[in-house]
Amino acid sequence: GQQLNQSPQSMFIQEGEDVSMNCTSSSIFNTWLWYKQDPGEGPVLLIALYKAGELTSNGRLTAQFGITRKDSFLNISASIPSDVGIYFCACYPYSGAGSYQLTFGKGTKLSVIP
Amino acid sequence: DTEVTQTPKHLVMGMTNKKSLKCEQHMGHRAMYWYKQKAKKPPELMFVYSYEKLSINESVPSRFSPECPNSSLLNLHLHALQPEDSALYLCASSRSGKNYRQGRGAGTEAFFGQGTRLTVV
């Protein structure tokens, strides 16, 4: 099945620094989603990307859908303590009628040092 | 409103118990899902309902039994679970089962509930 390679696995950064994480795959995807999950809670949707090359912002967050449809990145600017959590990329396969499987990356654990 | 509500938030059950997890959404979404998440792992898909019909069962053991009474509700009935079934169980929904199937465009994004932390003793 499709696999998403998400990196880095974990990050320790100083408050105020910018953060960048990405997901790559050998498969083509139609939609890229970025979620944030706090401990013991469900994932919260941050950004959804639908078209190759699309660049979308949500406050301090910016994400892009790679032109090859095989990758996406998420940037967080001027990090703050509440950015701490696990960030997941997720997407659906490009083709396959009846395919409902949302594939997740393994996550990037972000720690922010005040 | 992008809220998916799950109850209970925590559940401890014995291996001989029968319990149910509940999920509710009022966004008019026609696709609903159950995921299982172990510690430090991404969510794993268990079941998908589209227009109240079971579309996908990811080879989940029969001790997990899903039910979709109507388009707003999704249940997961639990019976004779094992300690290794302890995990965070997540419910999710998306706007359109058709768009979800085709995996393109707005409407395919899934919204998750806060999860039920299940402990089997």
**What mean pLDDT do residues B36-62 have?**
93
CA dihedral for B56, B58, B61, B63, sign (positive or negative)? negative
Name residue B30's amino acid. Answer: R
Q: Are A45 and B48 inside 8 Å of each other by CB? A: no
pLDDT of amino acid A97: 45
- Across the interface, whether the CB atoms of A100 and B111 are under 8 A apart is answered no
Q: How far apart are the first and last CA of chain B?
A: 36
Task: Report whether B97 contacts B31 (CB < 8 A).
Answer: yes
Residue A69 in tokens: 């449809």
Instruction: Give yes or no for residue B76 having a pLDDT over 70.
Output: yes
**Which residue in A8, A43, A27 sits closest to A91, CA to CA?**
A27
Pairing of strands A29-37, A19-24: unpaired
Confirm or reject contact between B74 and chain A (CB < 8 A). no
Where residue A94 falls among pLDDT bands split at 50, 70, 90?
Answer: low
Using CB atoms, pick whichever of A41, A42, A100 lies closest to residue B56.
A100
Residues 6+ apart with CB under 8 A from B33: A100, A102, B45, B46, B47, B48, B49, B91, B92, B93, B94, B110
Q: How confident is the model at residue B1 (pLDDT cuts 50, 70, 90)?
A: low
B121 to chain A nearest CA, in Å? 19
- Of residues B30 and A87, more confidence is placed in A87
| Structure tokens belonging to residue B88 | 């965070």
